[in-house]
Amino acid sequence: MEGSTEGTEPDSHSITLHPLTPQHTGGDASTIVSPTQTHYDGASDVDGTTMRSRSRSHSRAKLDDDTQHTESGGKDDEEEREPHPAVDLTQDEGIDPGPFPVKPYMLASLVDPKNMELLRDLGGIAGLLKALGSNRKRGLSRKALAKAPDASHHASFAPHADKDGRPGAGGAPGAGAGASQRHDRQPETSARDVPKLVVTGPGGEDGGGSPVDHAGENDNAHEEDGPTYEAHIDERRRVFGENTLPSRKTKSLLQLMWLALKDKVLVLLSIAAVVSLALGFFQDFGTPRPDGEPPVDWVEGVAIMVAIFIVVMVGSVNDWQKERQFQVLNEKKEERGVKVIRDGVEMIIDIKEVVVGDVALVEPGEIIPCDGVFLSGHNVKCDESGATGESDAIKKMSYEDCLKNEGTDGGDGLKHTDCFMISGSKVLEGYGSYVVIAVGTKSFNGRIMMALMGDTENTPLQIKLNNLAELIATLGSAAGLILFIALMIRFFVQLGTHNIVRTPSQWGIAFVQILIISVTLIVVAVPEGLPLAVTLALAFATKRMTKENLLVRVLGSCETMANASVICTDKTGTLTQNVMTVVAGSVGIHCKFVHRLEDNQARTNAGEEPGVKPTGSPKHVEDFSIDQEQLNDTLSPALRTLFNDAVAINSTAFEDADQETGQLVFVGSKTETALLKFAKEIGWADYKETRESADIVQMIPFSSERKAMGVVVRLPGGKARIYLKGASEILTKSCTRHVVVERASADKDVQTKPLDELSRDNISRTIIFYANQTLRTIALCYRDFESWPPPGVQAESEDEVPYAELARELTLIAITGIEDPLRPGVRDAVADCHKAGVTVKMCTGDNVLTARSIALQCGIYTAGGIIMEGPIFRQLERQDLLEVVPRLQVLARSSPEDKKLLVETLRSLGEIVGVTGDGTNDGPALKTADVGFSMGIAGTEVAKEASDIILMDDNFASIVKAIMWGRCVNDAVRKFLQFQISVNITAVIITFVSAVASTEEESVLSAVQLLWINIIMDTFAALALATDPATPDLLDRKPDKKTSPLFSVDMYKQILGQSAYQTTITLIFHFLGATILGFHHSDDSETQKHQDSIVQTLVFNIFVFAQIFNSINSRRLDNHLNIFSGILKNYYFMGITLIEVAIQILIVFVGGAAFQVTRIGGREWGIGIALGLVSIPLGALIRCIPNGPVERFFIKIHLLPNPQVLPTSAPEADWNSAIRLVRDNLSTFSHVRGGRMRASSYVGKSRNARIAPESRVALPSIMTMVPTLIASSIGAGWAPQSPSGLSNPAQFDPSKSSAALWEGKIQIHPDTKPDDPVMHRWGAIARTT
């Protein structure tokens, strides 16, 4: 049926009924594929609340296949075609459509994939409007609006044009539309009308379905009555849904606390706390106590529980705040108005108020809020790349126009044209209206958003910390069990031999004491400060990052960024400002103007006088440079008018007030706004007056095929003129003349001259000169016709003259260089990345020249780097891909699929990858990457939902801050680990040794003392060490690999050294303290008890001060000696250290019985502080031990993994110089063999012929040339070729080398060394620049 007029809609005034032949009978699940070539299968299955995404490539391949079947037109093909539903129509079954004959998911299937046949089955636009109860000109009727009780919920978006104050004018939160199942269609006659097509609802024949008028498109063909026209907005909302997406369910504070409590360490700690509390109560209140001894054993359990509560509260409150913060940001971002027509009145309503059946208006720059079917308009074009990945602009036509085009050119008339509006796509130009058919979760964009909602996986640090916590818990439990067994053996020996006389009650207490000391050991071993340290570090970092324009959505991504080894960044808006401006240009051939010439002398290529450049190059002696502001003085009035007309009339951009600033700005494509801004700044005639005064005959919209746009205007005397603007390298080839500008020509009319070889060379050099500076070059041309239409041209009407007939014999007015300037600070940011060991790769849809130039300016393109284009990149075989990707620095003309392929390949190579993205179609790459950065300003909602961190200012420099803060978090956790593990090792060893040595099963440190050390010190240390601010010094080292261990050699050295020291001094003073202090054994028990108490207090003091000074020592993780660096900026650290010292003094003076300490004299204080202070010089001494031998020892005892050393150079022979020599000599021969040979047309053709496209990129084999090459290399004594030599005359000509970029070659940086492996592999097929 495709390509024919049978079964199509009649024209708007026809009253004849054409039979509607069913196109497909696949049942409820079948979907008919549209003949357009812009299908997109969103491939989201909505099954209840579960969303499942299918592979896009599979879907698209299937659709393309379907399209070919359809276009072949055979019935057999249609029968063989496998149904491929993109929307699950079974979901319609449970929906009561009420007065509507269509169901939501059926409507959604109109656009996913775009489905003309289904629209035709519904009765075209007339049938659809009737089914939805809407009018194409007036929108929803007054009846429908009047019934809505309280339509406008959003006061801030009260309708602007509510003339009659009717209650329902504001609409209601948008309804969702979707797709409904196929229904049996039965003809039904009516007394009033010709037979109609009836779409019956579940009610069958009982009139539940309303007739769909198929008699024509005239709005007056039927009266607007019936249940669908009267269905009020609330009913529409009930059937089709609201235009809101369910925000990701935010967990309540209690849920977050429960999640935090499920941490393995905290679970173990909770068990220990319960046991400790129970035993404490038993010991305090279940057994008789000696006089004067306070019941303080229960304090342990309570203190542990308090510690757990602190950890859980800090973590969950932080998570909760982050969720709230993100929700508020999202709600603010989603606030926007949508222009609709209701009861014939244009009004702006809140996006949430839009319902199915609304007639919405579109204008340039708008993001389409809902799915719909285009009704009418002028030159509406949409960029659907953000939604579907379709890079070309899609022109929107009415359904009737689509049917007409479908019958022309064998169906090719619909290429890049359709009548479906897809939510999430952007309107590039034109104005029009469409009827809304799907909103909210049933719209195309809504289904993608729902599919992206999912849980995130653990980050590398979280995995390592979980493993560490398990290991420590296991070791701690083992130590506790061993201690328990050892003490129980002694207990049973004592019980059997009666060495110690005890009552049964005392034996029971002794047993409980053994149990308590064993549990205390486990409690000491478990690093309960670890989750707190991580949480505090992340909380501190994320709050600071928000101030730095980084909104962290996924907390773990913060520390993942620390070890990011590769960043794949977009160009536009991230590296550049995304504001196009005319900064240079050439009027005619010779007049080169530059914006602020004094500051930008390098922007002009005028001044090629003799002697400036080497002899032999063409001379353009007539070229001259002027400042942009001098254009009015230099150009004649006639030429100024011509230039201004070419800019103003041939443009669809317009001036409008910015919603945020209120200032007048140009709206439209960036190129057009740049040119209009240029004309306005120079002071030329107002664009609006110029445009309105022109008599426009024909408009030629921009298309990606011709890369140009034009407008034909009627001139006085029956003449006509076409203005064209577009890609300079294409339009200038169609030029035969150019306007003449001379310095003294201010009062002459427009003069033109024919283009000769010298002029063409000047044009080509100018274009390449601008392109090398990242300027987008736009040519402005015109051509005059004596009459219109031009004589001898076959045209259906005077506004449909073929472009090919117009775009020749043009006169060049000017070439303008438009720049999207680099963001300030980007070059420094890229340099910082390189310094930090992070490779930056640029992925852009722009051409190679612009991409290379930006990459050079930013410092991304460096020696050894490769530039490749997307089409070549995606065809590489797996092995070649793995070889190219590490060296690939710029990927030009790349699609989102190329970006995803690049990310997947990098990850398979073990890299930790950060990716930036702003479009909906960047979602997959953002999800695939380890850390996804979306753009806060330019980013779509889909991109934000898929990302981990949002760059609020869209600036690349913010990514460097993310790396810095990520490393700060990682370092904070490691500093804490280094400190914590030292404490734990010491505490476990001294507890174990002293408990086993003691006949009373008493440890050197009492349980409460251990608690102060273990809980308070850990919590304080976590606070102190986790709050060190990020500094640029963090970028002075390379990132860690995913497989790198959590502990470095330096950390192990410090942990072992400090633990050994602390254990030694503690045990020495525990066993020999009395002797060292000069105490003699006393027979008086009170005196003896006091002496023992002083010794124990001193041991406690030594241990605590050793920890306090070790926390200062732990501020550095490397071998640098300055541990006080930045300490004055960290007020937390200074404050906490002072608090620790103060509390320790307080404990000793007033702790008394609870802590089992006593007041001590100055000598003991001095000894305690001095021995603690030794930690600092000891740390410096340990740092002086070389890492090499220590690392080898640690690897030998398996404390560190044996790193897999990868080869750093390829074991290939150095053939490159020989290849180059042979190639240069052959090149020389081809140039000097003789005039006849070179003049041969056959030779010319063969040399200039393009290489035939192949299924994959062929890599030339040079193995057969090896013997010759080696011999020539040795025999020739290779030396660099001189610039003026014959062997490669074009090598040092920048214009020639840049021109090679248009050939789609792989490029290798010119500074790459000849013996670099990349030259061996790709040198032969790469064109060095």
Catalytic sites, residue numbers: 570
| DSSP state for residue 179 in the 8-state scheme | B
**Terminal Cα distance for the chain, rounded:** 53
Question: Cα–Cα distance between 282 and 284 in angstroms, integer?
Answer: 6
Angle at 1135 between CA 1134 and CA 1139, to 5 degrees: 120
Tokens of 114: 């775009």
Sign, CA torsion 934/937/943/946: positive
| DSSP state for residue 121 in the 8-state scheme | H
Report whether the peptide linkage leading into residue 610 is cis, meaning its omega lies within 30 degrees of zero. no
The radius of gyration of the chain from alpha carbons, rounded to an integer in Å, stands at 39
Which of 365, 390, 424 is closest to 920 using CA atoms? Answer: 424
Question: Cα–Cα distance between 380 and 290 in angstroms, integer?
Answer: 93
Tokens of 683: 């002071």
Which of 858, 860, 782, 861 is closest to 827 using CA atoms? Answer: 858
Question: Cα–Cα distance between 566 and 963 in angstroms, integer?
Answer: 11
Question: Cα–Cα distance between 829 and 280 in angstroms, integer?
Answer: 58
Which of 184, 207, 183, 211 is closest to 195 using CA atoms? Answer: 211
Tokens of 117: 């046949």
Question: What is the amino acid identity at position 239?
Answer: V
The answer to whether the CB of 1180 falls within 8 A of the CB of 1057 is no
Strand, coil or helix: 993: helix
Tokens of 304: 């542990």
Angle at 588 between CA 582 and CA 591, to 5 degrees: 70
Angle at 189 between CA 188 and CA 195, to 5 degrees: 85
Residue 14 CB contacts under 8 Å (≥ 6 apart), including other chains: 216
Question: Cα–Cα distance between 46 and 451 in angstroms, integer?
Answer: 9
The number of beta carbons lying within 10 Å of the beta carbon of residue 1249 is 8
Angle at 236 between CA 233 and CA 239, to 5 degrees: 155
Q: How far is CA 297 from the centre of its chain?
A: 55
The answer to whether the CB of 620 falls within 8 A of the CB of 590 is yes
Question: Cα–Cα distance between 1203 and 1044 in angstroms, integer?
Answer: 8
Question: Cα–Cα distance between 577 and 1177 in angstroms, integer?
Answer: 51
The answer to whether the CB of 112 falls within 8 A of the CB of 444 is yes
* Bridge partners, residue 723, by sequence: 711, 782
Question: What is the amino acid identity at position 207?
Answer: G
Report whether the peptide linkage leading into residue 789 is cis, meaning its omega lies within 30 degrees of zero. yes
Question: Cα–Cα distance between 1101 and 1093 in angstroms, integer?
Answer: 12
Sign, CA torsion 227/231/235/239: positive
Element at 667 (helix H, strand E):
strand 664-667
| DSSP state for residue 428 in the 8-state scheme | E
The answer to whether the CB of 201 falls within 8 A of the CB of 101 is yes
Strand, coil or helix: 529: helix
DSSP labels for 159-194? -TT-SS--GGGG--SPBP--B-----EEEE--SSSS
Tokens of 385: 């790349």
DSSP labels for 446-471? HHHHHHH--PPPPPHHHHHHHHHHHH
